[in-house]
Amino acid sequence: MPEITVNMAAGRTDEQKAGMMRDITTALVTHLGVAAEDVVIQINEAPLTNKMKGGKTFVERKAARGK
């Protein structure tokens, strides 16, 4: 039973997350030959203040893009 954990910044809609998980499930079924019922996917979301890239929090990065 494949288990996939996705770590990402918070902010996506439930529909976006469900679509992503369906696509990942389909990829595992196609490429690993497992049954969809055996695929487990978990999303861990971090608040934008708790995630940093390039020395700037995701809040700072989002603000810089908005300028």
Fold of 3-66: Macrophage Migration Inhibitory Factor (3.30.429)
Give Cα separations from 19 to 13, 23, 58, 63 (angstroms): 10, 6, 23, 27
8 A C-beta contact, residue 51 and residue 11: no
Contact status, residue 27 vs residue 17, Cβ threshold 8 Å: no
Whole-prediction pTM = 0.85
Domain regions of the chain by residue span? 3-66
Tens of pLDDT, residue by residue, the chain (67 residues): 999 999 999 999 999 999 999 999 999 999 999 999 999 999 999 999 999 999 999 999 999 998 6
Give Cβ neighbours of residue 4 (< 8 Å, ≥ 6 apart). Answer: 24, 28, 39, 40, 41, 42
Catalytic residue list:
2
Q: Are strands 56-57 and 3-9 parallel, antiparallel or unpaired?
A: unpaired
